[in-house]
Amino acid sequence: MKNEKCAGAVPDDPGIHFVHKSEKHLSRLALLIIAGGFSFVTSAHAAEFSGYVGGQARYFFEEPPAVEQHSKYLSLITEPEFYQAWDNGDQNIEVKLFYRKDQYDEQRTHGDIRELSWTGVFEDWEVRAGISKVFWGVAETQHLVDIVNQTDLVENVDAEDKLGQPMIRMSTERDWGIIDLFILPGFRERTYAGAEGRPRTSIIIDTSRNAIYDSSDGKNHTDLAARYSHYIGEWEFGLSLFSGTGREPTDFVPVAISTSGQPVVVPVYSLITQLGFDGQAFFDDWTWKLEAAGIEVRSGDKKGINSFKTVGGFEYTWVGIADSNMDLGFLVEYHYSDQRIIPTIFDNDLATAFRFVFNDAQSSEILAGIFTDADTQTIASFIEASRRLGDSWTMEFQIRTFHSAKQGRPLYSFRFDDFAQLDLNYHF
């Protein structure tokens, strides 16, 4: 098949093979930074080790749409952590490693350095260097402005999991707000399920091949980001700017055909500029939230294309229902996007959900809701529940379903992929 852009072949966003060549260099750099930090230890605190190991089971209610896929999946996971502080707490190192072994999907069998960083406090500035994670945003159902870290989409279709990002972060807190400045060397490709993975799009995204970059620097491009955040009374807000390789692909190029006749593609990444806003306000039992992002593509065939997307809404919490310890929250968020880069699920959608917080010794919580597409009446539902079991165990359970998906729309690939998932983890 010719190496040409696959217009219309647009996978929806509902592995890393441990590290790529450039990522190996960055990992060695982070290790040198941390090793250097140890030489300045004068009054080290006791080292802290923690983390968890666990297992996950996924069961799909319908037969798979492709011959490579399965109905039941098992996987094992571990995420150990290490923390060491010294210099009266003004310096520390933090390490968090991640690895999952999946029964079938080679792309979901993957490892990552979530955190490998040194942090130092110097008068008015705090500096962090190495591999780390940063979260921006306030919305519950989608994080539009959260662009520093790449999405580890092979972990879950909710796009909540993130890959570690090499960075140098400089922060200062003043009376007039907080300034965060970022230098982000090296790009991390988004992870996608493999041919045997499920759920996945009908188009197989092959992350084992080299992705295509519109920038001549490829994955070695150095990105820049900045954020200003502040609060005034009951209002909190943040303004952010990102310039570099966009975390979402702007296109997909066909490279092969799978054994079941499905197209195999590789992603294309372009340089973008994103200006973001996130804010929330608290009024008694009400919390109002808003995120918005304007994006300009600066390279490739889509150079000059601008797009705008936003998510906003509220959460109302009933505290102590019927004189009990349980709180009940009602959540409503509206999603809009005029994105012309690739189609998105969240272009004209309403999310509604209930959150049950039991406030018990086991930290039991349930979040249940639906996404409704106002244009096609497609519905995606979810239930997420979690609970502690004793002092060391946690259990998480979720169900995700997709209803009335229309052909040609992003969720159409998931029409047979309703599933239940159970996670059981031991924490140490």
Give pLDDT tens digits for 256-315: 998 888 899 999 999 999 999 999 999 999 999 999 999 999 999 999 999 999 999 999
The residue-averaged pLDDT of 332-347 equals 87
pLDDT at 20: 41
Is 361 a domain residue? no
Is 11 a domain residue? no
pLDDT over 70 at 394, yes or no: yes
pTM for the whole thing?
A: 0.88
CATH, residue 48: 2.40.160
Q: How many separate domains does the chain show?
A: 1
Confidence of residue 44 (pLDDT cuts 50, 70, 90): low
- The 10s digit of each residue's pLDDT in 223-265 is 999 999 999 999 999 999 999 999 999 999 999 998 888 899 9
Is 91 a domain residue? yes
pLDDT over 50 at 40, yes or no: no
pLDDT at 15: 33
pLDDT over 90 at 322, yes or no: no
- The 10s digit of each residue's pLDDT in 112-164 is 999 999 999 999 999 999 999 999 999 999 999 999 999 999 999 999 999 99
Mean pLDDT rounded to a whole number for the chain: 90
- Domain carrying residue 253: 21-323
Is 4 a domain residue? no
Confidence of residue 45 (pLDDT cuts 50, 70, 90): low
Confidence of residue 4 (pLDDT cuts 50, 70, 90): very low
Confidence of residue 345 (pLDDT cuts 50, 70, 90): confident
Is 54 a domain residue? yes
Is 177 a domain residue? yes
pLDDT at 1: 43
Is 317 a domain residue? yes
**More confident of the two residues 40 and 214:** 214
Is 364 a domain residue? no
pLDDT over 60 at 41, yes or no: no
Q: Which of 101, 108, 118 is nearest to 166 (CA)?
A: 118
Of the chain, the percentage scoring pLDDT greater than 70 comes to: 89
Confidence of residue 410 (pLDDT cuts 50, 70, 90): confident
pLDDT at 34: 46
pLDDT over 90 at 7, yes or no: no
